Amino acid sequence: MKRNRAVRCAFLLLVIGLLASLPLLAQKITGDISGTVQDTTGAVLKDAKVTATNTGTGETRSANTSDSGFYRIIELPPGNYKVTATAQGFKTSARDAQVSLSLVTQSDFQLQPGQVTETIEVEGATPLVETTEDRLSTLFEGKQVADLPNNGRDFNNLLDGVPGVGVTHHHPRHRAPRARIGATPAVVAVEALRLGS
């Protein structure tokens, strides 16, 4: 009887521990780069190779385009990347992209006919903007956080610097302030990543 009770208690504790750890799985400390590869006529290029190289660390990740010309390079550490697209019979195209926490950076390519050894560098292009996710996101870099006035070192005070977000005073029974975007209540997720020492 006692052993049966101990097994049930252990099982219950295991279930509670697993359920409590679920929010940790939702934390994303990486970003993605995705887009399409086409030729100059707008036709999609299947099996084109897209490579993202972190300019700070030299880490390289690659993906091939699908039948629809789409690619996605997942779980890239935040930072600046050189993204190149190559396909047989086309010049290599390269551009810069910035990967941020939990965001998908859109990077489309239009390859010109030519030798793969020829490279076209895309410069002065429109900044790559996240357009595939339906959420608002603001990224504060380390220096920005350090320079912001933060009375009491409460991370919730950073919400004051996010455009369109207002914070209402919280009830004494609730620990976290209530955030809203316009008149709509909002869920605010704060993710932090410590880089360096």
What's the CATH number where 108 sits? 2.60.40.1120
Residue 77 lies in a domain: yes
| Integer Cα distance of 94 and 23 in angstroms | 37
Q: What is the pLDDT of residues 20-31, one digit of tens each?
A: 665 555 556 788
**Which burial class, exposed, middle or buried, applies to 91 when counting CB atoms under 10 A from its CB (0-12, 13-18, 19+)?**
middle
**Which burial class, exposed, middle or buried, applies to 77 when counting CB atoms under 10 A from its CB (0-12, 13-18, 19+)?**
middle
Residue 20 lies in a domain: no
Q: What is the pLDDT of residues 41-50, one digit of tens each?
A: 999 999 999 9
Range of the domain at 177: 142-186
Query: Does 170 lie in the same domain as 116?
Result: no
Query: Does 37 lie in the same domain as 112?
Result: yes
**Last residue in a domain, options 91, 121, 151:** 121
Q: How many domains does the chain have?
A: 2
Confidence of residue 82 (pLDDT cuts 50, 70, 90): very high
Query: Does 149 lie in the same domain as 112?
Result: no
Query: Does 108 lie in the same domain as 63?
Result: yes
* DSSP, residue by residue, 93-122: EEEEEEE-TT-EEE--EEEPBS-TT-EEE-
Dihedral of alpha carbons 169, 171, 173, 176, sign: negative
In this predicted structure, the answer to whether residue 103 has a pLDDT above a threshold of 90 is: no
**Last residue in a domain, options 121, 155, 177:** 121
Residue 193 lies in a domain: no
Pairing of strands 104-106, 31-39: parallel
Residue 161 lies in a domain: yes
